[in-house]
Amino acid sequence: MEHFLDIFEAGLNKHDETLCGDKVKVHRGEDRTIIVLSDGLGSGVKANILATLTSEIIMTMLAADVGIEDVISTVIGTLPTCKIRNIAYATFTVIQISHSDHSFKVINFDNPPTMHFRRGRILPTERKEYEILGKKIRMFEGQLKLGDFLGAMSDGVTYAGMGVTMNYGWGWNNIAGYIEERWRTHYWCARNVVQDVIGKTRSLYGDSAGDDATFVGVFVRPVKYLTIFTGPPLDKADDARITERLLAAPGVKIVCGGTTANIVAEQLGQVLKADLESLRSDVPPFGSLPGVDLVTEGILTMTKALEYMREADGRPDRLPSDRNAATLLATQLLMADHIDFLVGQTVNEYYQNPLLPKSISIRKHLISELKEFLTEHRKEVHTEFF
């Protein structure tokens, strides 16, 4: 995809509750992305179970290409209704976005309406209403363009501040207006919008949320590409070809590994320069080469970068502020959307476990761990071995 569907969610638990009664699930398939937001009735463990069950049923069936009406019928027919309040035990919003043309469909059952912004302005939407098993379902369709934003929320966001800082809660129109006002100066990705809205929600509740509150956003922006060349190829004849691949790749280009850096420097006819001020006791210094955005040592730096990313739970803003090779590498990995690893398989005997066969190298294992972590954090990761 030329454009990237940047998805981020955040929320608040009701005060004194350990578990959130809202649940968000995201599935990126080959041809579409599916987002499900479910709000379980009440709060705490019971609400969490209901929301999780609802989102799991919906996502599993949609990912298996079951028709949306059959999915909704199954969910509504499965979940009980509160006999006292005569309302469903869980509400939900489903967003499906096509990867081919970014057309989307939103299905809503008793959650606040989904917002669609273009150029920082809320767009009017024509919602259709129909009944399934006696329940009113609202649906609208549209097309996402570069710079558009879709926002879905649980009612804990719209009711924020009710009886505390506002008589009737924040309200859908006020939320839309808040996003419009802050669009130009505050937002450039889904994380910015969502965290800002949830931060305001927390403030309106006086830091003591009266309900679970969740906001999930989709921001359409250009893809951020990253290509990493690490490890010398088995065949030295591949040195020039892979270096050319790296330099011709779109986006950020990184070289990890001393021998690998020397290969690229030789192909460029340049001298590798090291920044000795970036040397740390546990992280070798980074270097520089023309046409390459970052040059680092290999195994130690990549291992440390993975450690930093895990400690930060995949959030760039939680990485250490120290400017060293591992923090710079971790930042680029977490900021990227599409990551290509070009992995040479020549084994550095210094790092190789003598008890393992050479086919199971430390580098291969580390790349596998990085790929697993980054994929879990919604990155598209590809690896090629040479």
Domains of the chain with bracketed CATH: 3-222 (3.60.40.10), 225-385 (no CATH)
pLDDT tens, position by position, 139-177: 999 999 999 999 999 999 999 989 777 778 999 999 999
* Residue bearing tokens 């009737």: 168
What is the token pair recorded at 286?
Answer: 């980074």
Q: Closest by alpha carbon to 232, among 257, 265, 253, 252? A: 257
* Per-residue pLDDT at 1: 52
Helix (H, G, I), strand (E, B) or coil at 355: coil
Binning the chain into helix, strand and coil, the percentages to the nearest 5 are 35, 30, 35
* Residue bearing tokens 């130690």: 300
pTM of the model: 0.87
**Could you please report the per-residue DSSP string of 329-343?**
HHHHHHH-SEEEEEE
Cα–Cα distance for residue pair 352/356, rounded to 1 Å: 8
* Per-residue pLDDT at 180: 97
**Residue 89: pLDDT band by 50, 70, 90 thresholds?**
confident
Say which range, 49-58, 78-87, 116-125, 193-202, has the weakest mean pLDDT. Answer: 78-87
Mean pLDDT of the chain: 93
**Residue 63: pLDDT band by 50, 70, 90 thresholds?**
very high
What is the token pair recorded at 263?
Answer: 């290969």
Cα–Cα distance for residue pair 264/268, rounded to 1 Å: 6
Per-residue pLDDT, averaged over 195-202, amounts to 97
Angle between helices 258-268 and 238-248 (to 10 degrees): 80
Say which range, 48-52, 215-219, 247-251, has the weakest mean pLDDT. Answer: 48-52
Rg (CA), the chain: 24
Cα–Cα distance for residue pair 198/158, rounded to 1 Å: 11
**Residue 357: pLDDT band by 50, 70, 90 thresholds?**
low
What is the token pair recorded at 150?
Answer: 């879709």
Please calculate the CA angle 42-48-50 and round it to the nearest 5 degrees: 80
Q: Closest by alpha carbon to 263, among 346, 331, 385, 204? A: 346
* Per-residue pLDDT at 134: 84
Percent over 70 (pLDDT), the chain: 94
* Residue bearing tokens 């009406």: 69
